[in-house]
A and B are shown apart, each in its own frame.
Chain A
Amino acid sequence: MNIRYLAFLFLLLNMTYLLTGCWDRVEVNNLAIITAAALDKKDDKTIELSIQIFVPETSGKEKQNVATMGNENTQSPTLVESAEGVNFADAMLKLQGKISRKIFWGQNEVFIFGEQLAKKGILNELNGILRAVQPRERANLFISKGQAKEILKLNPVIDRNSAESIHKLVHAHTGLEESIIDTLQMMNGESKAVALPWIEILTPQDGRSSNVRMPYIHGTAVLKTDKLLGKLNAEATKGVLMIKNQAASGTITVKPKPEKGYLSAEFVKDKIKLIPQITKNHLSMKLQVQTEAIVTQNSTHLDVMNSHDLAKIEKELAKGITLQIRKALDQGQKKWKADIFGLADTFYRKYPREWKKYKKNWDSLYPNLKIDIQTKFRILRPGMTTENPKI
C-alpha cells in the first residue's frame, strides 16, 4: 500500500515536467497586431508587402492628447512597415525579420492591392493569403489608386487608424464589400470577372490641416479574371451596388420632366432579382427591382400627399433608378466588357445544359446582351413635412 502510494506520488510529480514547456505560448505583448495590409508592385518580379501595426501603448495616451490638447501633430498610433519579396509569403518572412514582435494576422480585415499590382494580376497573392494559416477568409479586398502603401500611412483623426476607417466605410455600404472568398468564388465562377471597391485618398477641404488625410471608397475597380482593367465612377458604383444587392441605403435624386426643381428620396429597402432567359437560342436578362423609400427633399410642385402626384413621383423615381442601373450595366458591358455582375453565373444556374453551348462565346455575347430593367418604386412615408411651406 505504502509503495503504491509512493509510486503514485512519484508519477504525480513527474507530471509537472509536462507543464513546463509550451511551444506555442503567445503573449499579447509579444504580438504585432496587424490592422491592415497592402500589396504593391515593386518591379516586374517583386512585390512590396506593407503592414499597418497597431501600437497599443501610445494609442491610449494618444486619444487623451487629441481630446485634451487638440494637438494635430501628435504621433500616429500605428506603425507602417514594409518589405519586398517575390511573393506574399516571401515578403511576409522578410517583414518578420524587421519587427521585434511576432506578426499576428488574426485581426486583419483589410487587404489593399495597389493599382500597378492589380494590373499584373492578384490571384497568386490571393492564393498565398488563403494558404497562410492566420489571415482570414473573410478579410475584405480593395484596390487603391496609386500605391496601396500610402493608404496605410494615413492617419485619420476621427478613427484610430485608416484600417478602422476603411472597415467602417465598408459597413456604411458606400462601396462594395467583397471578402477573399467572395472574390475567389467570382473568379472561379462562370463570369470570370470581379468588382472590388476602389480606395482613394480624401484631402481635407481646409488647407490648414493637409497632413490629416483620410481614405475613402470612391468607385469600383473592374477586374477581368484577376487583372485590373479600370474603374467605374461613384455614380456607376451606385448601380453596381444595387445589382449586387449590396445597397443597404442610398439616395436618388431626379428631375421630373416638366418641373423645375429636384426630388430626392432615400431608400430603405432595395431588392433586385436577376432573371436570365434563353428563348430560341437567344440570351436575354430581366432585372426586377423593388425599392421602397422615404422622401427627403422635394422642390417640385408635385404634392407628396396627393395620390395622383404620388404615382407620378414614384414613376419618376423608378425611372431614375432604372437609369442608375443602366449606367452601371453599360459601363460593365460596353466600356470594360467584363461581367462584374455575375450574369454568367445566373445563366449557368438556371440553364446548366444550355449554358455549355454559350459558355465559349460569353465574351462576345455579353457586351450585346439585352437587359430589361423593371423597376417598382414605392414611397413609404412623406418624411417630416407634408407640403412645402410657401413664402
Chain B
Amino acid sequence: MIERGKISALQMAMILHSTIAATALLAMPSVTMKYAHQDMWLSPIWASLGGFLIVWITFQLHKFYPKESFIEYVPRIIGRFLGSIFAFLYLFFYWIILGDIVREYGEFLITNFLAHTPYSVISGSMLLVCAYAVRGGVEVIGRSAQFFVPIVMPLFLIVLLLLIPDLKPQNMLPMFEHGLKPSLIGAIPPLSAFYGEFFLISFLYPYVSDKQNKLRWGIYSVLSVVWTMLLVSFSTLLIFGKVGAHLTYPLIGVARYISLADFLEHLESIVAAIWVLSMFIKMTMIYYALSLGTAQWLKLTDYRPLIFPIGILSLVLSIWTVPNLQVLSQFINSTGTIYFLLMQYLIPLLLLIVAYFRRKQNQKKVAEQA
C-alpha cells in the first residue's frame, strides 16, 4: 500500500462535501434555472438520488476489495489487460476534470476580483499549495477539510441569513407549471457534473479507519450537499427570480444584494473566501486521486515524485482544454454530460455487476473444491 495514512469517516464526509459543494455553490443555480425555471429548487433533490447511488455502488465495490482503491481493483474485476486500459481511462478523466476545475477557479477570481492578475499566477500558486497538501497524503487533506469546513459553513450561512429581508417567496410560483418534466431535465447537469464527483469516495474508502461508519458518513455528506444546494437554489430563486438564469455566478450577485441598515453591504468577499477555501479542498482531492491513482496504475512504491509533474501538466491542460468559460459550460452541457454519466455511473455499475457474479462463481468453485 502506497498510502499509509488513515482518516476518520467524518473527515471523509467533509472532504467530499467541500469537493462537491465548492463548484455547485457558484455554477449550479443558473444551470438548473435555465431548464427548470421556478422549479429549479427541486432539481438538486432529484439529482441527489444519483449521489446516493454512487456512494452505494462504490461502497459495495469497496466491500469486495476492502484494501484497494478503484485503480487497483479494476484489473482484478475485468482482467489485467482490459483493467489497465480502464484504469488509464479513469486517470485521463480525472486529469481533464482537474484541468477544468483549475480553470474554473482562476476564471472566477479573475472575473470578480483580480482582473489584472495573470491567470497562470492565480492558478499556479493555488496548485502549488495543493501540491503541498497532496504530498502530505490523505491525512493532511482530511485535516484541512476538518479545519476549513467549520469556517466555510458559518460564512455561507451568514450570507444567507442576511438575505432573509430581501427574499420574495412569490418567485417560486407557479409551481410545476409544466409538470415535473422541467425540474427533472434540470436535474441532469447537477446529476452528472456535481453529484457524479462523489465517485471520488472510492479513492478514500480504503483509508477510512472506522469501518462501521463509512457508508453512513458517505450518505451524510450527500445529504449535506443536497442541503447546501437547496439553500443556494432558494436564495437565487427568491432574490433574482428568472433573471438568475442569466447570471454567470448567481451567488456573488446574491451576496452583493445584501444591504442591511445601510452599512452592512458589499459582502461578496465572503463568497470569495468560501470559494477559495472549498476549492482548495476540491482541487487537492482530485489532484490526490490522480497522483495516487497514477502511482497505483504504474505499480510505483511512492506517489510523491509524480505530484509536481502532474501539477504542471494540469496547469497547462487547464489552458489547453478550456480556452474559455463558454467552452467549459458548453462541454458540461453537451458531451460532458454523457462523459460524466458514463465514467461515474454506468461503468462503476457494470463493474459492480461483474464483480458480483465473479464473486459468486468463485464461491461456487471453492465449494466444489471442498
Residues of A within 8 A of B (CB): 18, 21-24, 106, 130, 133, 136-138, 171, 181, 184-185, 188-189, 345, 348-353
Would you give the 0/1 interface string for B307-332, flagging 1 where the beta carbon is closer than 8 Å to chain A?
Answer: 00000000000000000000000000
CB contacts (< 8 Å) of A171 on chain B: these are 262
Q: Mark the stretch among B27-35, B201-209, B235-243, B294-302 that contacts chain A.
A: B235-243
A–B Cβ pairs within 8 angstroms, 13 of them: A22-B117, A23-B117, A24-B117, A133-B112, A136-B256, A138-B256, A181-B239, A185-B241, A349-B170, A349-B173, A351-B174, A352-B174, A352-B177
Known contacts A137-B256, A185-B242; 10 additional CB pairs below 8 A are A18-B125, A22-B117, A23-B117, A23-B118, A138-B257, A181-B240, A185-B240, A189-B242, A349-B170, A349-B174
Q: How far is the CA of A149 from the CA of B240 in the complex (A)?
A: 30
Choose from A18, A24, A185 the contact partner of B243 (Cβ within 8 Å): A185
Q: How far is the CA of A349 from the CA of B125 in the complex (A)?
A: 49
Q: How far is the CA of A46 from the CA of B173 in the complex (A)?
A: 40
Q: Is the CB of A137 within 8 A of B257?
A: yes
Choose from B111, B116, B125, B177 the contact partner of A133 (Cβ within 8 Å): B111
From B242, B243, B246, B253, name the one whose CB has the most chain A CB atoms within 10 angstroms. Answer: B243
Q: For window 83-103 of chain B, which residues contact chain A by CB distance below 8 Å? A: none
CB contacts (< 8 Å) of A21 on chain B: these are 121
Q: How far is the CA of A325 from the CA of B87 in the complex (A)?
A: 71
Would you give the 0/1 interface string for B266-281, flagging 1 where the beta carbon is closer than 8 Å to chain A?
Answer: 1000000000000000
CB contacts (< 8 Å) of B253 on chain A: these are 137, 181
Q: How far is the CA of A249 from the CA of B362 in the complex (A)?
A: 81
Q: Is the CB of A138 within 8 A of B114?
A: no
Q: Is the CB of B242 within 8 A of A133?
A: no
The chain B residue sitting closest to A22, CB to CB, is B117
* Interface flag for B115 (CB, 8 Å): yes
Q: Is the CB of A188 within 8 A of B240?
A: no
CB contacts (< 8 Å) of A181 on chain B: these are 239-240, 243, 253, 257
CB contacts (< 8 Å) of A138 on chain B: these are 256-257, 259
Q: Is the CB of A24 within 8 A of B115?
A: yes
Would you give the 0/1 interface string for B34-65, flagging 1 where the beta carbon is closer than 8 Å to chain A?
Answer: 00000000000000000000000000000000
From A185, A348, A351, name the one whose CB has the most chain B CB atoms within 10 angstroms. Answer: A185
A138-B257, A349-B173 known; A188 vs B113 contact (CB < 8 Å): no
Q: How far is the CA of A325 from the CA of B111 in the complex (A)?
A: 46
Sorted nearest first, the 8 A-B pairs with minimum C-beta distance are A352-B174, A349-B173, A23-B116, A23-B117, A352-B177, A24-B114, A185-B241, A184-B243
CB contacts (< 8 Å) of A350 on chain B: these are 173-174
CB contacts (< 8 Å) of B113 on chain A: these are 24
Q: How far is the CA of A348 from the CA of B242 in the complex (A)?
A: 14
Minimal beta-carbon separation of B7 from chain A (angstroms):
28
Minimal beta-carbon separation of B29 from chain A (angstroms):
14
Q: How far is the CA of A11 from the CA of B343 in the complex (A)?
A: 40
Choose from A24, A345, A352 the contact partner of B116 (Cβ within 8 Å): A24
From A18, A22, A138, name the one whose CB has the most chain B CB atoms within 10 angstroms. Answer: A138
CB contacts (< 8 Å) of A106 on chain B: these are 266
CB contacts (< 8 Å) of B173 on chain A: these are 349-350
CB contacts (< 8 Å) of B112 on chain A: these are 133
Would you give the 0/1 interface string for B234-266, flagging 1 where the beta carbon is closer than 8 Å to chain A?
Answer: 000001111100100000010011010010001
Would you give the 0/1 interface string for B172-183, flagging 1 where the beta carbon is closer than 8 Å to chain A?
Answer: 011001000000
Q: How far is the CA of A136 from the CA of B255 in the complex (A)?
A: 11
Q: How far is the CA of A184 from the CA of B253 in the complex (A)?
A: 14
Would you give the 0/1 interface string for B3-17, flagging 1 where the beta carbon is closer than 8 Å to chain A?
Answer: 000000000000000
Minimal beta-carbon separation of A246 from chain B (angstroms):
13
Q: How far is the CA of A185 from the CA of B166 in the complex (A)?
A: 14
CB contacts (< 8 Å) of B118 on chain A: these are 23
CB contacts (< 8 Å) of B125 on chain A: these are 18
The chain B residue sitting closest to A351, CB to CB, is B174
Q: How far is the CA of A341 from the CA of B46 in the complex (A)?
A: 36
Would you give the 0/1 interface string for B99-142, flagging 1 where the beta carbon is closer than 8 Å to chain A?
Answer: 00000000000011111111001000100000000000000000
CB contacts (< 8 Å) of B246 on chain A: these are 130
CB contacts (< 8 Å) of A130 on chain B: these are 246
Q: Is the CB of B115 within 8 A of A133?
A: yes
Minimal beta-carbon separation of B360 from chain A (angstroms):
52
Minimal beta-carbon separation of A78 from chain B (angstroms):
19
Minimal beta-carbon separation of B13 from chain A (angstroms):
34
CB contacts (< 8 Å) of B111 on chain A: these are 133
Minimal beta-carbon separation of B126 from chain A (angstroms):
13
Q: How far is the CA of A185 from the CA of B125 in the complex (A)?
A: 40
Q: How far is the CA of A385 from the CA of B50 in the complex (A)?
A: 69
Minimal beta-carbon separation of A34 from chain B (angstroms):
14
CB contacts (< 8 Å) of B116 on chain A: these are 23-24
CB contacts (< 8 Å) of B117 on chain A: these are 22-24
CB contacts (< 8 Å) of A348 on chain B: these are 174
CB contacts (< 8 Å) of A133 on chain B: these are 111-112, 115
Q: How far is the CA of A353 from the CA of B178 in the complex (A)?
A: 9
Q: How far is the CA of A185 from the CA of B262 in the complex (A)?
A: 23
CB contacts (< 8 Å) of B240 on chain A: these are 137, 181, 185
Minimal beta-carbon separation of B263 from chain A (angstroms):
12
The chain B residue sitting closest to A167, CB to CB, is B262
CB contacts (< 8 Å) of A22 on chain B: these are 117
Minimal beta-carbon separation of A83 from chain B (angstroms):
21
Minimal beta-carbon separation of B159 from chain A (angstroms):
14
Q: How far is the CA of A181 from the CA of B258 in the complex (A)?
A: 13
CB contacts (< 8 Å) of A137 on chain B: these are 240, 253, 256-257
From B174, B239, B240, B242, name the one whose CB has the most chain A CB atoms within 10 angstroms. Answer: B174
Q: How far is the CA of A350 from the CA of B243 in the complex (A)?
A: 20
Minimal beta-carbon separation of B167 from chain A (angstroms):
13
CB contacts (< 8 Å) of B266 on chain A: these are 106, 136
Minimal beta-carbon separation of B271 from chain A (angstroms):
14
CB contacts (< 8 Å) of A24 on chain B: these are 113-117
Q: How far is the CA of A22 from the CA of B115 in the complex (A)?
A: 11
Minimal beta-carbon separation of A7 from chain B (angstroms):
15
